[in-house]
Amino acid sequence: MSNILVVDDHQLIISGTINILKDRYPDTEIFVAKTAESAFIQLEHAEKQKFMFDLIVLDLSIPEKPGMTANIETGLQLLQNLLNKYPNLNLMVQSSYAKALVRIKYEIDEHQGGFVIADKGLSEQEMLTRFNLAINGATHTKDIKMGLEMKPEWLEVLSLAFEEGLQDKLIAEKMNIHERTVRAYWTKVQDALNVYPENCKQEGKNIRIQTEIRAREEGLID
């Protein structure tokens, strides 16, 4: 059973999100917060109860407290705090204002947990696909792409994997990091290269092979 927190102040969106999630994950327990304050209260309560949410789905335009006006800055601040305090938390931004995320792109790129963006206008099937990506720790942020950006550690993973032929465990040892971090780097690299699990699955292609092909096309590896 999973625990999912939905942060949104629109009852229609909340109901629709819950229905989609309950249909796909019938054993999931879903919590709701309509303000940034309520979201923090529920997170603190979860920590006291010694459990963590498997996924937080949040809108960017939310009020800080009950009775206050919803605005994007409040949602961005909440998201930034979540990224800093919970580096391994799976997050999905379900919003019509996704382009505003470029303001905190550095923190998003540094995040080790899943991070997925979904416009509220997506179909139910595509929304489910994004939920699945997020809850499984994948990255999908092409909606805020501004050119190809690769961090040195991501390039090192590519080099060790495709030029030296190392598997993730040996890559982790070579880089002196946890194997989980290597997997996080992979999903960041694949997101930057627009290589996504759902596309590879539909086309019957291996995601690592497609990552290597795209990396060579971009000149990232020899």
Residues 199 and 130 in one domain: no
Q: Does the model's pTM come out above 0.95?
A: no
Classify residue 111 by its DSSP letter: -
Gap between the Cα atoms of 215 and 99, Å rounded: 25
Residues 158 and 129 in one domain: no
pLDDT band at 145 (very low <50, low <70, confident <90, very high): low
Q: Identify residue 3 by its one-letter amino acid code.
A: N
Residue 120: how many CB atoms within 10 A of its CB?
16
CB 28 within 8 A of CB 44: no
Residues 90 and 23 in one domain: yes
Query: First and final CA of the chain: distance in angstroms?
Result: 44
Q: Is 119 within a domain? A: yes
Residues 195 and 139 in one domain: no
CB 33 within 8 A of CB 5: yes
Of 123, 144, 165, which residue sits at a domain end?
Answer: 144
pLDDT band at 201 (very low <50, low <70, confident <90, very high): confident
DSSP characters over 5-54 = EEE-S-HHHHHHHHHHHHHH-TT-EEEEESSHHHHHHHHHHHHHTT---S
Across 86-104, b (16+ Cβ under 10 Å) vs e yields beebbbbbbbebbebbeeb
Model confidence at 47: pLDDT above 70: yes
CATH number at residue 181: 1.10.10
Q: What is the pLDDT of residues 167-195, one digit of tens each?
A: 999 999 999 999 999 999 999 999 989 89
Model confidence at 143: pLDDT above 80: no
Residues 137 and 176 in one domain: no
Model confidence at 29: pLDDT above 90: yes
